[in-house]
């Protein structure tokens, strides 16, 4: 039988999702836990790989097994052998035609950014950080240039293995949580920004490279139209430096309703 799992994790302690020889990845820990519970080797395929330090609210994987267990037994049993910062949220049998990556029609990410003159503390490693006030209107104008189908070479890491840099961004939402005014002595109102991205697929470091440009524009270092200039350059050298992985969350893939899979986990209501 084929089983799909929804997996959440705090990525701070791991070298990304994909298995590596050193064994310190989320996939390595998940497959080891599944193997101990199933008492046979388990190989998983995921919906979208994440980099070192990037978090997952609902990574989706599938695997094949001859073991017959109730869905919640897969959840409880696997979690018994996982470290505390990785947890299976749900399990569900799926048809053999289901593929965690190929069946996804879109993918969603969020970047949470702390705007404050003081660095993060209790949320260290879970949010990005800027200590200058950001211009919401300028950022909103800038990201409009990225919507639709484009060649995103300017936002592509040199190590990217994607077959094509052409991707489609369906939406980019920007929200702010915190006081609208009340500058402190440093002239910066502490607040959290959330940038949510949905597209058919993403390149390696694509969102972190876009975030570098958004922040540069939000801080007034570049005008909003600079985003279009960077996009059209089709050169990584044209864009801002890659932004920190700390505030990046893989919200999960989007599947058609025919698969009947969950669309969210409890962590969605915790994330700012």
Q: 106-249 is classed in which CATH architecture?
A: 2-Layer Sandwich (3.30)
Mean pLDDT for the stretch of residues 61-84: 96
Give the Å distances, CA to CA, from 220 to 39, 53, 70, 134. Answer: 57, 28, 55, 8
pLDDT band at 135 (very low <50, low <70, confident <90, very high): very high
pLDDT value at 12 more than 60: yes
Please list the residues that pair with 195 across neighbouring strands: 111, 174
pLDDT value at 180 more than 70: no
Share of the chain above pLDDT 90, in %: 89
Class (C level, CATH) for 2-103 = alpha beta
Mean pLDDT for the stretch of residues 123-135: 95
Mean pLDDT for the stretch of residues 98-105: 97
Tokens at 113, concatenated: 């950014």
Tell me which residues are annotated as active site.
51
Average pLDDT value for the chain: 94
Please, where in the chain does CATH 3.30.70.580 lie?
Answer: 2-103
pLDDT value at 66 more than 60: yes
The pLDDT value recorded for residue 185 is 47
Residues 51, 123: Cα–Cα separation, whole Å: 19
Please list the residues that pair with 172 across neighbouring strands: 197
Per-residue pLDDT tens for 222-266?
999 999 999 999 999 999 999 999 999 999 999 999 999 999 898
The pLDDT value recorded for residue 74 is 97
Per-residue pLDDT tens for 183-223?
554 568 899 999 999 999 999 999 999 999 999 999 999 99
The pLDDT value recorded for residue 78 is 98
**DSSP characters over the chain:** -EEEEEEEE-GGGSS-SS--TT--SHHHHHHHHHHHHHTS----EES----TT-EEEEEEEEEE-S----HHHHHHHHHHTS-TTEEEEEEEEE-TT--TTTT-SEEEEEEEEEE-SS--STTTTTSEEESS---HHHHHHHHGGG-EEEE-GGG--TT---S-SEEEEEEEEEEEES-SS---TTS---EEEEEEEEES---TTHHHHHHHHHHHHHTTSS-TTHHHHHHHHT-GGGSPPPPPSTTEEEEEEE--GGG------GGGGT--
pTM, to two decimals: 0.94
- CA 90 from centre of chain: 19
pLDDT value at 35 more than 80: yes
Per-residue pLDDT tens for 163-177?
999 999 999 999 999
Tokens at 167, concatenated: 């991707």
Please, where in the chain does CATH 3.30.70.660 lie?
Answer: 106-249
Please list the residues that pair with 193 across neighbouring strands: 113, 176
The pLDDT value recorded for residue 184 is 54
Per-residue pLDDT tens for 15-34?
999 999 988 999 999 999 99
How many other C-beta atoms are found inside a 10 Å radius of the C-beta of residue 155? 30
Residues 215, 66: Cα–Cα separation, whole Å: 49
Share of the chain above pLDDT 70, in %: 97
């Amino acid at each position: 039988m084929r089983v799909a799992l929804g997996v959440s994790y705090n990525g701070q302690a791991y070298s990304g999702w994909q298995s590596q020889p050193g064994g310190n990845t989320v996939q390595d820990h998940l497959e080891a836990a599944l193997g101990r519970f199933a008492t046979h080797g388990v190989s998983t395929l995921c919906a979208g790989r994440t980099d070192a330090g990037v978090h997952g609210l609902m990574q989706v994987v599938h695997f094949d097994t001859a073991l017959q267990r109730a869905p919640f037994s897969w959840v409880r049993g696997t979690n018994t052998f996982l470290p505390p910062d990785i947890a299976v949220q749900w399990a569900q049998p799926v048809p053999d035609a289901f593929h965690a990556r190929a069946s996804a029609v879109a993918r969603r990410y969020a970047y949470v950014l702390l705007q404050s003159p003081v660095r993060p503390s209790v949320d260290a490693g879970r949010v990005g950080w800027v200590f200058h006030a950001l211009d919401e209107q300028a950022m909103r104008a800038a990201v409009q240039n990225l919507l639709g189908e484009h060649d995103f070479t300017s936002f592509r890491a040199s190590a990217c293995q994607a077959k094509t840099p052409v991707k489609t961004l369906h939406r980019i939402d920007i929200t702010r949580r915190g006081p609208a005014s009340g500058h402190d002595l440093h002239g910066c109102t502490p607040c959290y920004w959330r940038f949510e991205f949905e597209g058919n697929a993403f390149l390696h470091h694509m969102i972190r490279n876009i975030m570098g440009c958004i922040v540069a524009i939000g801080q007034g270092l570049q005008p909003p139209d600079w985003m279009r200039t960077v996009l059209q350059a089709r050169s990584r050298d044209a864009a801002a430096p890659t932004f920190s992985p700390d505030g990046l969350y893989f919200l999960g893939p989007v599947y058609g309703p025919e698969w009947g899979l969950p669309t969210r986990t409890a962590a969605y209501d915790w994330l700012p």
